Amino acid sequence: MRIFTAALATETNTFSPICIDRRAFEASLYAPPGQHPETPTLCSAPITVGRRVCAEKGWELIEGTAAWADPAGLLNRAAYEGLRDEVLEQLKAAMPVDAVVLGLHGAMVAAGYEDTEGDILSRVREIVGPDIRIFAELDPHSHLTAKRFAAADVFVYFKEFPHTDFVDRAEDLWRIAVDTLEGRVNPVMSVFDCRMIDVFPTSRDPMRSFVDKLMQIEREDADILSISVIHGFMAGDVPEMGTKLLVVTNDNAAKGSALARELGMELFAKRGTFMMPQIDEKQAVSEALAATSWPVVIADMWDNPGGGTAGDATVLLEELLARGVTDAAIGTIWDPMAVQICMAAGEGAEIPLRFGAKSAPGTGNPVDGIVKVVRIVPNAEMRFGESFAPFGDSAHIVLDGIDIILNSTRAQSFDPTLFSVMGIEPTSKKILVIKSTNHFFASFSKIAAEIIYCAAGTPYPNNPAKTPYRRARKDIWPMIDDPHGLTQGAV
């Protein structure tokens, strides 16, 4: 067998002011054919898992480019078309192939392309023809469009949020691919539109139990090859935004459709109950100060670079400073210019500095003060599961007794190594402020005495009922209360 594999992915918050071009991929991951590192990024696990699978099977794996950019705003059109065509030309050169296995995200939007993954997949289909199987792994914070559904044979999405299972789901994808190519199964996808948009952390019920149920069905029913919840991405203002339920069966579309509907309506029945309770910055700091065991982690949920924001909000920092709090650490505030100033000043310098809150309204105010530059780390990285996440040239500064990490590459707070690589021992602090909605939970929960979820400022459109969408559909919950017509008895 000859299998072609590649990855092209980013998550686009269409409300974010942080537009990106090819340089964003080069800063996060740009690996030409054969140069992908041994450890995968979030959306490139099909390549690293494929290396092992194909070696074991004696198959030829033909690697194309792998490119990933951290979540941001709109992708430059020329950058998208250039990276897309690079992969497509590699596929053409590899022909004939027996299958294509891709790593995608599912919420990428480029100028002129609302459905980039649909565009990529349909062009791949044109190249390989109707009979060659196309498999893809995707992030659940994405949009399942009719165009991409029609172009591919099998989609497998991460089940966990935080996304600790991206390697496991790549294993699932390759298992289905191998069984398909060796003639043991004939995968068929069925999808149900839940007609809703919500946030589904699997670190708590009811989503934890729901995902456990999906995995039990997969284990116990031989007809069911995979079940995925496409959460949807509420910061993507595109026409087919929303939550969907996808079932892949072994040649049993009717069973798949019935199960997708049953599970989708079960999910819909729990709408509005999945998110963790959130409090504002004043209450969050008060609760942290009242704690008797530490560290207390305050998650600045909505200034989350993992959702495409800048990550430069200062709302929580301003509250800590106003309350005279010390023995706290902030990780991170994105400000490349401030980092450059600190690097020029050097470790040990005390300098006047203005930093933060430059990107958009609702992120607080720039902070001014005399800071001490404690540590400079070029090309800093933190752990993220089996991989590493770069946060760029970074500076550890101290302002009025608060340790602050300034970074030059936007990244959410995945792991406590964010602090330790900058010379801050996270467990020695009473309060840790991080920027992440839920990906932090898997690692920070291991050291936190308490986790507080904070909605500080308005850097992210987190209330779909009030978000000023221009392109997204308006016929789903919570934009309307009863999109399935349940009160009229129509299901």
pLDDT digits (tens, 9 = 90+) for 265-291: 999 999 999 999 999 999 999 999 999
H/E stretch holding 398 reads strand 387-399
Q: Is residue 40 part of a domain?
A: yes
pLDDT digits (tens, 9 = 90+) for 191-249: 999 999 999 999 999 999 999 999 999 999 999 999 999 999 999 999 999 999 999 99
Are 223 and 352 within one domain?
no
| 3-state class (DSSP) for residue 131 | coil
Domain boundary among 235, 270, 305: 270
75-92: b (≥16 Cβ within 10 Å) or e? bbeebbbebbebbbebbe
- Count of domains forming the chain: 2
Strands, E, within 170-223: which ranges?
187-193
Domain boundary among 237, 270, 303: 270
Are 409 and 344 within one domain?
yes
Cis peptide preceding 478, ω within 30 of 0: yes
Are 218 and 321 within one domain?
no
Q: Would you state the pLDDT for residue 88?
A: 98
Question: For all residues of the chain together, what is the average pLDDT?
Answer: 96
Average pLDDT over residues 301-308: 95
Output the pTM of the full model: 0.93
What residue type is 65 in one-letter code?
Answer: T
Q: Is residue 471 part of a domain?
A: no
302-to-106, 200, 299, 367 alpha-carbon distances in Å: 21, 15, 9, 19
Are 292 and 263 within one domain?
no
Are 265 and 304 within one domain?
no
Are 239 and 328 within one domain?
no
Q: Is residue 276 part of a domain?
A: no
Are 302 and 425 within one domain?
yes
Q: Would you state the pLDDT for residue 488?
A: 64
pLDDT-based confidence at 55, cuts 50/70/90? Answer: very high
Average pLDDT over residues 258-263: 98
Q: Is residue 488 part of a domain?
A: no
Q: Would you state the pLDDT for residue 491?
A: 46
Average pLDDT over residues 69-89: 97
Q: Would you state the pLDDT for residue 489?
A: 52
Question: In what side-by-side order are the strands of the sheet with 187-193?
Answer: 187-193, 244-250, 224-230
The yes-or-no verdict on residue 490 having pLDDT over 60 is no
Average pLDDT over residues 346-362: 96
Average pLDDT over residues 147-168: 97
Are 341 and 255 within one domain?
no
CA distance 338 to 373: 11
Are 257 and 311 within one domain?
no
Q: Which two tokens stand for residue 145?
A: 């469009």
The yes-or-no verdict on residue 478 having pLDDT over 50 is yes
Are 299 and 420 within one domain?
yes
CA-closest candidate to residue 422, choices 446, 398, 450, 443 = 398
Q: Is residue 460 part of a domain?
A: no
Q: Would you state the pLDDT for residue 385?
A: 80
* Residues making up the chain, counted from first to last: 491
Average pLDDT over residues 105-113: 98
Where in the sequence is the domain holding 331, given as residue range(s)? Answer: 281-454
The yes-or-no verdict on residue 336 having pLDDT over 80 is yes
Under a CB-based contact definition with an 8 Å cutoff, are residues 426 and 432 in contact?
yes
For the chain, the 3-state helix, strand and coil shares in percent, each to the nearest 5, are 30, 25, 45
Are 247 and 383 within one domain?
no
